[in-house]
Amino acid sequence: MRVFVEGVGLLGPGLNSWQASRPLLAGDAAYAPMPTVVTASELLPAAERRRTSVPVNLALAAGRAAFVHAGRDAATTATVFASSSGDGESLHHVCATLASPEREISPTRFHNSVHNAPAGYWSIATRAHGFSTSLCCHDASFAAGLLDAAAHVVVDGKPVALITYDQPYPEPLHAVRPIGASFGVALVMAPQTTDHVFATLDISLVPGGASATRMTDSGLDAMRAAVPAARCLPLLAALARGAAAVVVLAYGEENHLRVAVAPWQ
Amino acid sequence: MQPLAINHFSIVNSLGAGSAAITGALRARRSGLAACDFETATLDTWIGQVAGLDGFRVRSDLGAYDCRNNRLAQLGLEADGYSAAVAAAREKYGAQRIGVFMGTSTSGILQTELAYRRRDPQTGTLPADYRYAETQNSFSLADFVQRYLGLTGPAFGVSSACSSSAKVFGHAARMMAAGVCDAAVVGGVDSLCLTTLYGFNSLGLTSRAPCRPYDTDRDGISIGEGAGFVLLEKSPARTAVGALLLLGVGESCDAYHMSTPHPEGMGAKLSMQHALDAAGLAPADIDYINLHGTATKANDASEDRAVFELFGAATPASSTKGSTGHLLGAAGVTEAVIAMLAIEQGLLPGGMHTQNIDPALHSNYLLENRDAGVRRVLSNSFGFGGSNCSLVLGASG
């Protein structure tokens, strides 16, 4: 399945934007880990902004940046959201409250705990009334989202934004499901070339496990391994280098994704 | 869209296990709802509980996945000969060529709730037997179903609250159209847990009586649990008369509020229109609408407005949530299966518990069962975050 990449949004530890991170990802500058800087999205009305969680802010920030890069209208573009963890803070608060004598769950915590909360806030923020979905595939959530988004682009012939994000769980869940950092990434993909297209991806699901492409930089590779959403990094590195490359993304034990990246003039 | 063939499906909920039990309960107008006695919940509400899950264990080779949600999944996979039908499909297409796309809103969260009660008093750590990936993660259901059925193709979980297991039909259709797989196991499971019982209660959305969709005095939902599975295959050039088909999927976002539907039903109308467009049908082609019909003030008013604007007052419509309760992430597939049973049986199920239809609602809401020829059904599923999905199912010929 061939898709045309128009825009990238990125927010991670020491990765403050796609534009600022390109030299690091391409191997032209040294990577230095720093905490992810996440702020409430200006896209949302003030009343909603007060209630948003870190995953929502991650998703909205990455998504917004990708649409600015793509020069595309978010209101009329389909979205595929993918996350392994969803809102871990809300899950923790809900379960801790339910284990206590007082079971008064906060209504905001409850509605933020749904896996599609970022998709809901995104549609409110961008006034997007079209297609949107929210997926999960544990460690392969980025790969599953990419496969689904590509199928959407190819079958429906319409642009799609893939927005993937993860946030560390608080303890005690962190001990059983360690996620290394807050990370959000978005790709705006079109079915044909436009003025903003800068690369193509040829994506195929291949039977059999395979070794995933790794990052050359040990810090970036540690991040790739520690955050499901950061499994995208080798693909972003290929986009940052601007040269043809084949990237392998793990997709469970039985499959992998082969992504042929090529620059587009 | 290209219609997809549906030769096999299964269903389990508080009405019973298997299509015959569900049809029997609908015909007899027997509701599965009862006063809430789930676990340690002390809430004045009604629930639709599946009997026997506490004493049941998942297949031993998948013991790590054992939790209420996956137990219910296994009951569903063994109902209506479903797992045997998938085994035959696996022989036909190959394990690699069958996708698994599963909807759930809370997966096995009850397992996490119970583990939190057993945290180490000193360190706060979770008990050693707690299995996050196999029970809590939103992929755990799809992972369990894929392994249970011995499939190895593309798989993922869809979690968009109460539209989850309707949206899986769209994902499967796209994956098949893109050539990523030749057939798909789609469906969903949601099981009772304290999170949804206390969560919906915190929003003032649970009824103290069995839920009464479209009633003047409706005051909220009754939460239920259930599982449903459908095997989607490419439709042959010539289908037998009466063969069941997925004809259309429509999806939209309200872009309005996280937990309240658009007051004018804007998103609901869009999703129904998209589903009709995908099926190449007009509103008059639909014989019955299985409403989302949760029995909250806001949902029924919003949905009714959308249905009335699109269909007028002619098309018979009802919500089956008075019978099953609201199965949340499993509602979409459950009501898709009920739509197919309506077609097979020529039965329009009347909504239960509703005494006086709200005069402010204008759709043709059915209060009694009606025997009638049913060719095409539209089924609505709307969720938190303004996530809407409508399906059109029909019989060929």
Query: Is the whole-model pTM more than 0.90?
Result: yes
pLDDT value of residue B301: 98
pLDDT value of residue A45: 81
Of B108, B125, B280, the C-alpha closest to B194 is: B108
Query: Which residue(s) pair with B377 in the sheet?
Result: B288, B393
Decide if A234 contacts A148 (C-beta within 8 A): no
B50 touches chain A (CB under 8 A): no
Please determine, for residue A52, whether its predicted confidence score (pLDDT) is greater than 90.
no
pLDDT value of residue A42: 80
Helices (H), chain A: 18-26, 46-49, 54-70, 88-98, 107-112, 117-126, 141-156, 173-176, 218-226, 233-241
Write the burial class of residue A30 (CB in 10 Å: 0-12 exposed, 13-18 middle, 19+ buried): exposed
Q: Looking at residues A7-14, what average pLDDT do you find? A: 98
Catalytic residue positions of B, numbered: 162, 292, 326
In order of A5, A248, B341, B394, the CA distances from B244 in angstroms are 39, 39, 10, 6
Chain A residues with CB-CB distance to B259 below 8 A: 107, 111
Chain A residues with CB-CB distance to B262 below 8 A: none
Please determine, for residue A50, whether its predicted confidence score (pLDDT) is greater than 80.
no
Of B268, B229, B225, B243, the C-alpha closest to B380 is: B268
B220 touches chain A (CB under 8 A): no
Q: With left for phi above 0 and alpha for psi between -120 and 50, is residue B150 left, alpha or beta? A: left
Q: How far is A82 from chain B (nearest CA, A)?
A: 9
Q: How far is A148 from chain B (nearest CA, A)?
A: 7
In order of B109, B141, B190, B302, the CA distances from B187 in angstroms are 18, 10, 11, 26
Element (H, E) at B387: strand B387-395
pLDDT value of residue B241: 86
Decide if A257 contacts A238 (C-beta within 8 A): no
Instruction: Say which residue the tokens 């006063």 belong to.
Output: B35
Q: Looking at residues A54-64, what average pLDDT do you find? A: 95
> Which tens digits make up the pLDDT trace of B73-95?
999 999 999 999 999 999 999 99
What ipTM goes with this model? 0.98
In order of A94, A107, B143, B164, B180, the CA distances from A103 in angstroms are 9, 12, 31, 27, 45
SS (H, E, C) B254-278: CCCCCCCCCCCCHHHHHHHHHHHHH
The count of other CB atoms within 10 Å of the CB of residue A214 is 15
Of B279, B278, B276, the C-alpha closest to B315 is: B276
The lowest-confidence range among A45-54, A109-118, A236-245, B154-163 is A45-54
Count structural domains, chain B.
Answer: 1
B2 touches chain A (CB under 8 A): no
**Would you call B255 and A129 a contact, using CB atoms and an 8 Å cutoff?**
yes
Tell me if residue B191 falls in helix, strand or coil. Answer: coil
> Which tens digits make up the pLDDT trace of B168-223?
999 999 999 999 999 999 999 999 999 999 999 999 999 999 999 999 999 999 99
Range of the domain at B326: 4-395
Structure tokens at A78: 């389909």
Q: Which residues contact A265 (CB under 8 A, 6 or more apart)?
A: none
pLDDT value of residue B397: 81
**Shortest CA distance from B205: residue in chain A:** A107
Query: Which residue(s) pair with A257 in the sheet?
Result: A205, A249
Query: Which residue(s) pair with B258 in the sheet?
Result: none
Sign of CA dihedral B223, B227, B232, B238: negative
pLDDT value of residue B237: 80
Query: For B253, which of A1, A130, A175 is closest by C-beta distance?
Result: A130
pLDDT value of residue B186: 98
Q: What is the mean pLDDT of chain A?
A: 96
Best residue of A111, A121, A152 to probe chain B, by most B CBs closer than 10 Å: A111
A contact residues 131-170, partner B, Cβ 8 Å cutoff = 131-138, 140-141, 144, 147-148, 150-152, 154-156
CATH number at residue B310: 3.40.47.10
pLDDT value of residue A39: 85
Rounded distance between C-alpha atoms, residue A116 and residue B158, angstroms: 9
Please determine, for residue B61, whether its predicted confidence score (pLDDT) is greater than 80.
yes
Q: Which residues contact A221 (CB under 8 A, 6 or more apart)?
A: A214, A215, A233
Q: Which residues contact B128 (CB under 8 A, 6 or more apart)?
A: none
Chain A residues with CB-CB distance to B170 below 8 A: 133
Backbone phi, psi, residue B74, to 5°: -65, -40
Tell me if residue A34 falls in helix, strand or coil. Answer: coil
Kindly give the pairing relationship between strand B244-253 and strand B316-318: unpaired
Q: In CATH, what number does A2-194 get?
A: 3.40.47.10
Decide if A72 contacts A196 (C-beta within 8 A): yes
Please determine, for residue B347, whether its predicted confidence score (pLDDT) is greater than 90.
yes
pLDDT value of residue B34: 98
pLDDT confidence bin for A47, thresholds 50/70/90: confident
In the chain, the amino acid numbered B129 is D
Rounded distance between C-alpha atoms, residue A117 and residue A95, angstroms: 18
> Which tens digits make up the pLDDT trace of B253-303?
999 998 899 999 999 999 999 999 999 999 999 999 999 999 999 999 999
pLDDT confidence bin for A40, thresholds 50/70/90: confident
Q: Which residues contact A202 (CB under 8 A, 6 or more apart)?
A: A1, A2, A259, A260, A262
Structure tokens at A144: 């599953």
pLDDT confidence bin for A233, thresholds 50/70/90: very high
Q: Looking at residues B293-320, what average pLDDT do you find? A: 98
